[in-house]
Amino acid sequence: MNDIFAHFRLDEKETNAFLELVKLGASPLSAWAKRAGINRSSMYVIADRLIEAGIVTLFSHRGIMHAKPISMADLPSILERKRHELGEAKAILMSRLPELAKLEATHAIRPTVQFYEGPVRVAHMYEEVVREPSFVSVFHPGRVKAVMPEYFHKIPQAIRTNGGRARELLVRCKEAVEYKKTYESVKHEISLFPSGITFSSDTIITKEKIYLVGYGKHAVVATEIWNEELARSQSVLFDLLWKTHGT
């Protein structure tokens, strides 16, 4: 079932909670939480995710909030609607690409660029990322864990500790599954590319900066580009990847 509901951007816990509601039928949130084995505070968060996915509705009955699953027969039409919305989003982006390209080519301020070579220098770069209040990224968890293992955990832990926000698209591998299971939350959204999609470098995009990290067999290098307009353009492209390739 998880492979089906991955298309609704649901994780295993959210999928299981939904299926318990399907078996239970329209019920008070407290009864649903008990049936699913989830505490009530977490159930409200999960309910919000399922409502956002369009497969659960809430209603009040005799002053008590109830949850109701959609009919299973309606699932195909919801997926079709999501596919249509993604198509519209892509069309809008494609229509704006010339504008974005012109903005990139004619910007009067030259970007500040800094290079980092070797684990020690790249660690300095990652310390800057740790301090960022929010970012989006595309990266390969397997490479990070093999070459810079402390940052496999340090960055997501900093997000959790500091109340930051992040969205991350991961190259699918066993480390990606581990990372998603360990660190995904409402403020830290994590999605995996379909099998077969990979990248030769990792990209981290903040409000003002772009970080590019390359991992070789015997070396690690990174480039920091400090330019708000370029970062904004890359964020637009990330949003397209997030909508069309994440699962």
Nearest to 77 by CA among 141, 128, 8, 19: 8
Interval 38-48 mean pLDDT = 86
d(C-alpha 112, C-alpha 193), whole Å: 31
CATH classification of 2-70, choosing from 3.40.190.10, 1.10.10.10, 3.40.1010.10, 2.40.160.40? Answer: 1.10.10.10
**CB-CB neighbours of 194 under 10 Å:** 10
> How confident is the model at residue 99, as a pLDDT?
79
Percent of the chain as helix, strand, coil, to the nearest 5 = 55, 20, 20
User: Could you tell me which residue, 96 or 168, shows the higher pLDDT?
Assistant: 168
Structure tokens at 171: 């190259």
Structure tokens at 188: 């830290």
Share of the chain above pLDDT 90, in %: 44
What's the DSSP call for residue 111?
Answer: P
For residue 41, give the amino acid letter: S
Distances (CA, A) of 37 to 20, 67, 188: 10, 16, 23
pLDDT digits (tens, 9 = 90+) for 152-166: 999 999 999 989 999
3-state secondary structure of 129: helix
d(C-alpha 120, C-alpha 52), whole Å: 42
Q: Is the pLDDT of residue 167 over 90?
A: yes
Q: Is the pLDDT of residue 33 over 80?
A: yes
Nearest to 245 by CA among 3, 7, 5: 7
d(C-alpha 105, C-alpha 130), whole Å: 30
**CB-CB neighbours of 159 under 10 Å:** 22
Bridge-partner residues for 203, per DSSP?
138, 212
Cβ atoms of 209 and 114 closer than 8 Å: no
Q: Is the pLDDT of residue 107 over 60?
A: no
Q: Is the pLDDT of residue 3 over 70?
A: no
Q: CB under 8 Å to 138, separation ≥6 — which residues?
A: 168, 169, 170, 171, 199, 202, 203, 238, 241
Q: What is the overall mean pLDDT for the chain? A: 87
pLDDT digits (tens, 9 = 90+) for 179-235: 999 999 999 999 999 888 888 789 999 999 999 999 877 788 999 999 988 999 999
Dihedral (Cα; 125, 131, 136, 142), 10-degree rounding: 50
pLDDT digits (tens, 9 = 90+) for 112-150: 899 999 888 999 999 999 999 999 999 999 999 988 889
Where helices occur in 107-138 by DSSP H, the ranges are: 119-130
108-245 belongs to which homologous superfamily? Endonuclease Chain A (3.30.870.10)
> How confident is the model at residue 247, as a pLDDT?
65
Cβ atoms of 86 and 244 closer than 8 Å: yes
> How confident is the model at residue 98, as a pLDDT?
82
